[in-house]
Structure 1
Amino acid sequence: MADAATESGVVKAGGGRSRGLDRAFDILDFLAGARRAMRPNEIAQELGAPRSTVYDLTALLVRRGFLEEVGDGRLFLGDRLHILGAAHAALSSRQMAIEAALGRIVEDTQETAQFCRLDGNKYIVATARDGTRPFRITTNIGHRVPLTWTASGRLLVGHLDAAGIAAFVPPEDFALPDGRPIDRNAFLAEVEAARVVGHFTFDSALDSYTHCFAVPVRSALGRAEATLCIVAPREDAYRNHAAYLASLKQAAAQISPLFAKPG
């Protein structure tokens, strides 16, 4: 019986199976980042991939439930991914500890709490817990944004020197959505300051009413593998600044040991 990779029709000699798997993961990652359904030819164009390969792989992914058809030939992420994610959340000791930490932060502060990390050279909120105030700040889970837009970004590149940051962060990310430039030297200075004090907070660069807090979740080597964050209305953030940071740092200290070993 032909296996899944052979069934896709993209297995070639000399590593073709691995290339086919890589391309399948590229398709899933791309749709997750795009946050919308797309036709296979659009996916191929965006990825710069052969259309025949993308058609073969998307057909296979639909058959296996990793993609689903949503009408007009458009495809999006399928239910099987949700099942896999739910299994991970239910059985991963690391994920359960993260969820518990977010719950404690919300209980302490009533504010929206987030667990954030790198996705390539971008920032994502991997999981979050909404605050309990009547005015709630919600979160787009998995949405990739430039590191330069975020408090967490100043911590997640803290292990790099200036040259390493320049090589890692794309030049186009030193601008806000409205085109306003982000000063490179100021960003580097903020990275260094965050490295020294072990946190970073600022008024959000993307709106006029929230203040963002981030503290690192460190590996055994001291690198920020992720961050714990609070996003709060500015007046509440200013009034409770020290208490919010204390809650985040206590939670980060509790889960950081989990990042010294597989989850």
Structure 2
Amino acid sequence: MDAITDEAGGKRARGLDRAFEILDFLRQKRQALKPNEIAAQIGAPRSSVYELVNLLLRNGILEFTGGEGRVYLGRKLYFLGAAYENHFDFTRECEAALERLADETRETAQFCMLDGNKYTVVRMREGARPFRISADIGQSVPIPWTASGRLLVAHMTDEEILAFIPPEDFRLPNGEWLEPAAFLAQARQAWRDGFFTFNSIVDSFTHCFAVPVMDEGHAAATLCLVAPRADGIANRDRYLDSLKMAAAGLSHAPRRG
């Protein structure tokens, strides 16, 4: 009987893993897809994907949209997220910190975290400049491409970092290869300095600043500024002071309501 129970429990666990894989895949694709397209692109059996999609549709986690049987993330997820934010006071603290940063610097302020082994912008407040620097909130980006990435993995050992970051993520958007040893050295220096700044790897006209938001001895998140390159370099010290003050407040903010 125990063997049967364990096997059934294992199947349920694998089903949950696959369901979350489907949801995360749709989040990353940001478009409605047919179940057979999802199955082909995540390398899963069509039968199990169809079964899970139907289960998620019945529960409002997925919805039909776009015609021809395409599905996308459902409105139930919005209500779940709203309930989470209502319970999680830290979210409101983040919004206030981003608003202050954007007002003080006139630059785009971001709150960033790890999403699995990728980096993502969780919250953003655009600055008051005539032209706007924006990013897709929730989009997964390779860790080595970002200023925040150095800080978010700095609590790990070198071996843990190299096992955590997919090797292909050291290939930069311009096709150049970032030596993992150089990334590790930058992560160690960023941890000692308490910040990291650089000319953006993703585009050619911005300068990025990141400071850690600490939780139990490691960077649970970062606060960032994205500025036009010349202005970022000219205002480096002032921008870092603003970021450090805001991050220090968040590092001690209550996590629960």
Length-normalised TM-score, structure 1: 0.89
- Does 2:87 correspond to 1:94? no
- Does 2:74 correspond to 1:78? yes
2:26 — aligned with what?
A: 31
Distance 2:43 2:188 in 1: 37
The structure 2 residue matched to 1:186, chosen from 182, 185, 192, is: 182
The structure 2 residue matched to 1:256, chosen from 240, 244, 251, is: 251
Distance 2:70 2:17 in 1: 21
1:7 — aligned with what?
A: none
- Does 2:199 correspond to 1:203? yes
Q: Segments of 4+ in structure 1 off by > 6 A?
A: none
Indicate the larger mover: 37-46 or 13-22.
13-22
Alignment partner of 1:19: what SS? helix
- Does 2:251 correspond to 1:243? no
Q: Which amino acid aligns with 2:119?
A: Y
In the TM superposition, 1:132-211 aligns within 5 A as: 132-211=128-207
Seen in structure 2, the aligned counterparts of structure 1 residues 197 and 35 have a Cα distance that, compared at 3 Å, is: same
Give the alignment's Cα RMSD to 1 decimal: 1.7
The structure 2 residue matched to 1:47, chosen from 42, 48, 63, is: 42
The CA deviation string for residues 229-259 of structure 1, in whole angstroms up to 9 with x for no partner, is 0111111111211111111111111111247
Note the C-alpha offset of 1:178: 3.5
Distance 2:105 2:53 in 1: 44
- Does 2:229 correspond to 1:234? yes
**Contact 2:107 2:225 (C-alpha < 8 Å) held by counterparts:** yes
Distance 1:107 1:212 in 2: 17
Identify unmatched segments of 5+ residues in structure 1.
1-11
The structure 2 residue matched to 1:117, chosen from 113, 130, 155, is: 113
Distance 2:166 2:87 in 1: 36
Q: Give the paired residue count.
A: 250
Note the C-alpha offset of 1:35: 1.7
Distance 2:72 2:161 in 1: 34
Alignment partner of 1:44: what SS? helix
Alignment partner of 2:232: what SS? helix
Q: Which amino acid aligns with 1:236?
A: D
Alignment partner of 2:154: what SS? coil
Note the C-alpha offset of 1:79: 1.7
Note the C-alpha offset of 1:224: 0.7
1:58 — aligned with what?
A: 53
Q: Which amino acid aligns with 2:116?
A: G
Distance 1:262 1:23 in 2: 30
Distance 1:200 1:17 in 2: 43
Alignment partner of 1:14: what SS? helix
How high is the sequence identity, in percent, across the aligned residues? Answer: 56
